């Protein structure tokens, strides 16, 4: 079993939409499942390689969900699955 979180949030520190998504992840208890990667730092190469164009963006291992609405929907599915409680 990998010790890496199964999800990656690509964000910008100064971006208000990214900040709102980071707060939602923490408030929902999902932070242990989500690695935060700043696209203005070490996260840029993986973000671009996965077709990233807009932040916030959530990589779920198969798909990159881009933009606040798409990320919120993906987080809702994670919460509904109860994955954060495992």
Predicted TM-score (pTM) of the model is 0.92
Break the chain into its structural domains and give their ranges. Answer: 7-85
- Burial annotation 34-73 (CB, 10 A radius, 16+ → b, else e): bebbbbeeebeeebeeeebeebbbbbeeeebbbbbebbbe
CATH class of segment(s) 7-85? alpha beta
Q: What band does 79 get if pLDDT is binned at 50, 70 and 90?
A: very high
6-60 pLDDT tens trace: 999 999 999 999 999 999 999 999 999 999 999 999 999 999 999 999 999 999 9
Q: What is the per-residue pLDDT for 27?
A: 96
Q: What is the per-residue pLDDT for 76?
A: 96
Residue with the bigger pLDDT between 3 and 27: it is 27
């Amino acid at each position: 079993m990998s010790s890496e979180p199964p999800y990656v949030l690509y964000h910008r520190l100064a971006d208000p939409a990214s900040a709102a998504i980071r707060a939602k992840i923490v408030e929902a208890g999902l932070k242990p499942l989500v690695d935060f990667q700043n696209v203005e730092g070490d996260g840029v190469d993986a973000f671009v390689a996965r077709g990233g164009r807009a932040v916030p963006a959530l990589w779920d291992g198969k798909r990159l969900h881009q933009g606040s609405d798409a990320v919120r929907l993906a987080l809702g599915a994670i919460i509904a699955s109860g994955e954060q409680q495992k």
